Amino acid sequence: MNFVFLGLSFLALAFSAPAATFRVAAYNVENYLDAPTELRPHIKSETAKKKVRESIEAINPDVLALEEMGSTNALLELRASLKAEGCDFPFWEHVSGHDPDIHVAVLSKLPIVARHPHTTENFLLDGRRFEVSRGFAEVEIEAATNFNFTLLVTHLKSRRVVPQAAEADLRLEEAKKLREIIDQKLAHNPAAALVVLGDFNDLKSSEPVKVLLGRGKTKLTDTRPAERNGDNMPNENPRYEPRNITWTHYYGVEDTYSRIDYILLSHAMSARWLRDETYVGAITNWSVGSDHRPITAAFQIESD
C-alpha cells in the first residue's frame, strides 16, 4: 500500500472539502393563535398547524423568521411540536409591537447572542402619531465561531383598509423606520452582515419595498426565491427578471397570487449567498397551513 499516496489524497480532500452552510427562512403562518381575540376570533386548527410544520420541515431552516405569530405560548407550542418531530430550535425570540394579537418571532438552531427588539418605533403621518404595528425583531446570530450576522424581521402594514389612515401610507412609513435602522447599522459598520426579511405586504415596484432596498453603496440585494420546478431560462427582455414562479401569497379578496415576502441582504451578506440554494417552499396543499408560502436562502461560511 502506498501510504504517501494515501496521505496526499486525504490532504487533498481536506483542502477541497466544501465550506459549511446554513439556511435562513421567512414564513407568515397566518393567525397562529392559541386563543381567540376580538379582532381575530379563530384559533389555528390542529390540521393547519400540522401543515405549517410540514412546510417548515420541508425547507429545514437553521434560522426561521415568523410573521402573524400569536402569543409567546403559541410560539413555544410550535417550537415544541417541531422538536417532537425531530426539528429542534433551541433558541427563540418573540417581539410584540402595537398590535395586541399578532407578532414577529424567530426560531433558531444557531445561538442567538444578542437581542435588540424594536417595540415602540413610531412616526408622524398627517399630524397624527402612529406606532409600527408589529415592531421589528433584531437578533444577532452566531453562525460559526468566526462569523455572526444580524437578522431584522418585519411584518409591514397589510393591504386591508383601516379608518385611521391610508394603508399604503402607513406601510411606507413603517418601511422608512426599518430603513433608518438598516442605515444606522451600515453607517456604523459598512461591512455589517445583515439579513432583512419578512412579509413586506407589497410588490417590488412599490415605494415601501424600494425604500427597504435602498440605493447606492448601501443598497440591499433581493434574493428573489423561486419555485424549484425546473424553470431556469432568462427573460427575453433583459430589463426584467426571469419568468420563474416567485409568488408567496394568495390574496382572497382579489383572487391574486403575488410576491410580498422577501429576503434582502447587505453587501457583506450577499457575498456569502448561495443563489442556487434559494427558493420558495412549495409543498402539496400548502394553503391548509397559511395563505403564504415560506421562502428560504442559504449561505456559506468559512470553517475555522
CATH number at residue 123: 3.60.10.10
Give pLDDT, residue 144.
94
How many structural domains does the chain have? 1
Q: Is residue 61 part of a domain?
A: yes
DSSP string, 188-228: H-TT--EEEEEE--S-TTSHHHHHHH--GGGPPEE---B--
Mean pLDDT, range 93-122, rounded to an integer: 97
Q: Has residue 10 got a pLDDT over 70? A: no
| pLDDT, tens digit (0-9, with 9 covering 90-100), for 197-248 | 999 999 999 999 999 999 999 999 999 999 999 988 989 998 899 899 999 9
Separation of alpha carbons 119 and 99, rounded Å:
10
Q: Has residue 2 got a pLDDT over 60? A: no
Confidence of residue 39 (pLDDT cuts 50, 70, 90): confident
Q: Is residue 168 part of a domain?
A: yes
93, 106 contact by CB (below 8 A) = yes
For 16-20, 106-110, 268-272, which range has the lowest pLDDT when averaged over its residues? 16-20
Q: Is residue 1 part of a domain?
A: no
Separation of alpha carbons 55 and 59, rounded Å:
7
Mean pLDDT, range 53-70, rounded to an integer: 98
In this structure, the dihedral spanned by the alpha carbons of residues 41, 258, 181 and 161, taken in order and rounded to 10 degrees, is: -50
Q: Has residue 1 got a pLDDT over 50? A: no
Q: Is residue 71 part of a domain?
A: yes
Q: For residue 146, what is its C-alpha cell?
A: 468566526
Give pLDDT, residue 12.
41
Confidence of residue 184 (pLDDT cuts 50, 70, 90): very high
Structural domain of 209? 21-301
SS3 state at 218: helix
Question: Cβ-count burial of 109 within 10 angstroms (0-12 exposed, 13-18 middle, 19+ buried)?
Answer: middle
pTM of the model as a whole:
0.92
Give pLDDT, residue 87.
98
Separation of alpha carbons 89 and 115, rounded Å:
17
CA nearest to 174, candidates 142, 147, 211: 211
Mean pLDDT, range 261-268, rounded to an integer: 98
Q: Is residue 4 part of a domain?
A: no
298, 21 contact by CB (below 8 A) = yes
Separation of alpha carbons 22 and 145, rounded Å:
13
- Specify whether the backbone of 224 is left (phi greater than 0), alpha (psi in -120 to 50) or beta: left
Instruction: Count Cα neighbours of 227 within 13 Å in the Cβ-side half-sphere.
Output: 14
Q: Has residue 11 got a pLDDT over 90? A: no
83 contacts: CB under 8 Å, gap ≥ 6: 89
Q: What angle (nearest 5°) sits at the alpha carbon of residue 209, between those of residues 25 and 158?
A: 80
Q: Is residue 54 part of a domain?
A: yes
- Chain centre distance of CA 47: 24
Give pLDDT, residue 232.
87
Give pLDDT, residue 59.
98
Q: Is residue 260 part of a domain?
A: yes
SS3 state at 57: helix
Confidence of residue 9 (pLDDT cuts 50, 70, 90): very low
Mean pLDDT, range 70-79, rounded to an integer: 98
Q: Is residue 16 part of a domain?
A: no
| Amino acid, single-letter form, for residue 89 | F
Mean pLDDT, the chain, integer:
93
Q: Has residue 191 got a pLDDT over 70? A: yes
**Phi and psi, residue 196, nearest 5°:** -110, 120
Q: For residue 237, what is its C-alpha cell?
A: 427582455
